[in-house]
Each structure stands twice: as C-alpha cells, then as structure tokens.
Amino acid sequence: MQVKQRVLTGITTSGTPHLGNYLGALKPAVAASQKVDTDSFYFLADYHALIKCQDPQTLHRSGREIAAIWLALGLDTDKATFYRQSDIPEIPQLAWFLTCMTAKGMMNRSHAYKASVDENQRQSNVDLDQGINMGLFSYPILMAADILMFNANHIPVGKDQIQHIEMCRDIAMRFNHTYGEHFVLPEAMVEEGDSKVLSGLDGRKMSKSYGNIIPLFAPADELKKLIFQITTNSLQPGEAKDPETCTLFEIYSAFASPQETLAIRNAYANGIGWGEMKGQLFEYLNEYLTPARKRYDSIIKDPGFIESELQKGAAKARAHSQPFMERLRSAVGIMSLVGDMNTKHSGVKTKKELTPQEQEKIDVGKAKGLAIAKQRAEEETAQLNLKVDELIRHINASSSGELASTEAIAELKLQIDSAKKKAKKTLQLTLELLQQRLASELS
C-alpha cells in the first residue's frame, strides 16, 4: 500500500479569485485532489485576509465566492478536506509557537514586506514602515502554521510564493532542532510551464492590490471588456510583434495547448492586429471557463450548502489538529504540572540554596521518577506494538490485504473521532504506527 502524499493550499478571502490564482493554485490543487495517492487539504484563508481587508462585508462575501469557486471547479469534499482557516483554533496557537522560533531578519527579507518598504522609499516617506502592520510583516509565519499544522508534503503555489515555502522549511527545521522531530519539510509544487507570474491588465503582476485582475468567473460581457483593456504597444496590423513581451500572448499560452500556442506565435510573426488578438483571447477563455462558470452560478445561490461543506471539512481537519497541538504543547513545555517531572527544582535560586545532601536526595528522586516514566512509556509502546501486530495479522489473513488495511485505518479514524482525550491520543498513536508498519512492509 502506497503512503499518500499530503497537498495543502489556501486562497485569501479578500476579493474575487482571478486567472492568476487559478493557474498558480486552484487548477493544480483540484488536479491533485483527484489523485488516489494524494491526501488533500484546501482552505479559505480568512485570517490572512485581515492583513489588508478591514471591510467585514467584503471579507464575508469573498469567503462565500471563493468556496463556491472551489466547489465549481470540481473539488470533491468527500476525498479532500475543505475548511475555513478560522474554524481551526489550533492554527493561530501554532503560529505563536513558530513566531517565537523565527528570526526577525528572515521576515525582513519577505517579498511582501520589502515591496511595501520600497514603495515608502519611492514616495520619499521618512518612516519606511509607514502603513505596514504586523500582520503583513509576519504573514509568512501564519502561512507556515497553515502548512505545518497538517504536515503537508506539497504546496501548490505560483512562483511568487516559493520564498514563503522556503521560509516555512527554515522555521520547521529550527523548531525540530529545538524540540524534536515534529514537522515534515514541505516542498513547493509549481505546475510545469508556469514560467512566470501571470500579468494583469496593465502589464504588472496580476494582483487584487493593483486592481488589474481578470476575475475567474466574470460574466462573458465583463470578460470581453476587461480583455480589451489589456495594455499593448502601438504596433499596427501587419507589423511583426514580439509575443514574449505581450500580456495577451502570456495569458493565452497559459491556458492553450502547445499546438495552439505555436499557431498564435506564428500569427504574431505575421503581424496580427491587437484587436483581432484580443478577440481570439476572449473567445478562447470564454469557451474554456463557461462550464465551470455555470456550476458556480448555481452554487453561489445556495449559501447553506456551502456552509455545510465547510463545517464537514472543519470536523475532518480538527481530527488532525487537536491531537497534534496537544503533542506540540507538551513538546514546548506547556502541560499539566503533574506531568512536568523534568523541570521540577530547576529554578536558579533554589539550586543555590540547596545543601549537597539535599541536592543528592533530589537527584535520586528525579532519577527514580524518570525511571518510572521510562518504564511506563516502554509498557505503553509494547501495548501499542501488540495492538498493531494483531491488526497486521488480521490484514495478512484477509483475502485482500489492501482492502483490509484500508478498512482497518478507516475504523481507527472513526474511533479517534468519537474517543475522549486520553483514548484519542492512544488511538492516534496506534493509527500512526499501523501506517508506518504497512508502509515499511511494502517498501
């Protein structure tokens, strides 16, 4: 049985997704969710939206629109985990843990922060941090929490987001070095052929911040109007044109097949007029987007259905985040004092006042406590191994090992969902050990 790779991505709920969002994240994410060897996590990044959007109505409307777009593009919520970021309270908790492990110098190098500083410098502002809030500055840390909370292996992104994945890896490695191995190191997943960030109406990067976007599901008349607003040069029909510097060609080639792209490239060499090229781009995009646009128009009218899908996903996501967060809290030392055996008598003042005899007694007691804790841990590990051995024997005795293993894993997950705190932790460890054993036997 092949171990599934986990894919995770999110869209910020601060506006309407555009063609660049579709190519950079939505399209590869939905494709990944349909693979049998992939465990997909997709979310509405409403906490991220607060960085730039302080309009409650816009935030609320955008969340509904983006959720409807995911569903219209074919996201199967029975296979994928589809949720709202703010429905997972463990994410901001983890973000604080990671903030305390992140060097400020790394955040100084973030593209978004540097761009804001550069803009203040361009405008000759004395304060280069004018208008920059801490949400923008620490944005990559919250993004790292989104990813590391679910230990995602691959993150579908546009090339402008690769830096954030690299930062996430750095933060995870620092945490692992300090507190032990808890996080896998994610990798950016950039679709082949996405050679650069998609340009907008004015030739700059397509971005809601620049107001130069083409909304993904704009009605046909609006789509046509926007395409005819795309900036071009003054070359006349009949004059050869350079496709590599043209936004029209860039957008067309991002959606078209290699053969279709070659045909348009030849048309540029033969001097196609800008009006004709804009017309061809509209016809192509409109035909490409119409089926999904019709599904979107139907889904957006049913907010109850959208909300039920998000709540279903939140329950699935928290089945992962709750036990993992308990483990991380213990790792950093935030736990019940009853179990805090290693840190008793560790205050500097207490150590200075102890006599050698008192210190010896404390050391003996500490060693005894550690020995008891170690013995209990070994007993619990032995019990887990016995349970997993029993499950493996049952799977091997079945006529279909793959089916039996799938059923065993599904049964454990159901038990985890309904179990109480202590039992949930034991079941989660059993599930993880079973998956490791199955993967090891088939490797």
**pLDDT, tens digit, for every residue of 188-200?**
987 655 445 799 9
Name residue 433's amino acid: L
The pLDDT, as a whole number, for residue 336 is 81
Q: Confidence class of residue 341 from pLDDT cuts 50, 70 and 90?
A: very low
* Residue 351 predicted with pLDDT over 70: no
Supply 121's token pair. Answer: 């410098």
Neighbours of 307 (CB within 10 A): 14
Q: Tell me the two tokens of residue 110.
A: 């973030």
Q: Provide mean pLDDT across the span 340-358.
A: 47
Close Cβ partners of 45 (under 8 Å, ≥ 6 residues apart): 10, 11, 12, 13, 85, 146
pLDDT of residue 421 exceeding 70, the answer is no
For residue 350, what pLDDT is reported?
A: 34
b/e burial code for range 82-118 (CB count within 10 A of at least 16 → b): bbbbbbbebbebbbebbbebbeeeebeebebbeebbe
pLDDT exceeds 90 at position 352: no
pLDDT category of residue 349 using cuts at 50, 70 and 90: very low
294 alpha-carbon distance from chain centroid: 27
- 6-15, 168-177, 192-201: segment of lowest average pLDDT: 192-201
At residue 133, the pLDDT reads 94
For the segment 130-155, the average pLDDT, to the nearest whole number, is: 95
Select from 98, 40, 86, 42 the least CA-distant residue to 66: 42
The torsion angles phi and psi of 397, rounded to 5 degrees, stand at -80, -15
Helices (H), 180-302: 220-227, 247-255, 258-269, 274-299
Most confident of 174-188, 354-368, 393-407: 174-188
Query: Domains in the chain, start-ordered, CATH in brackets?
Result: 220-299 (1.10.240.10), 337-442 (no CATH)
Question: Taking the CB of residue 418, how many other CB atoms lie within 10 A of it?
Answer: 9
Q: Mean pLDDT score of the chain, rounded to an integer?
A: 87
Which amino acid appears at position 437 of this protein?
Answer: R
The model's pLDDT over 72-96, given as tens digits with 9 standing for 90+, comes to 999 989 989 999 999 999 999 999 9
**Does residue 412 or residue 305 have the better pLDDT?**
305
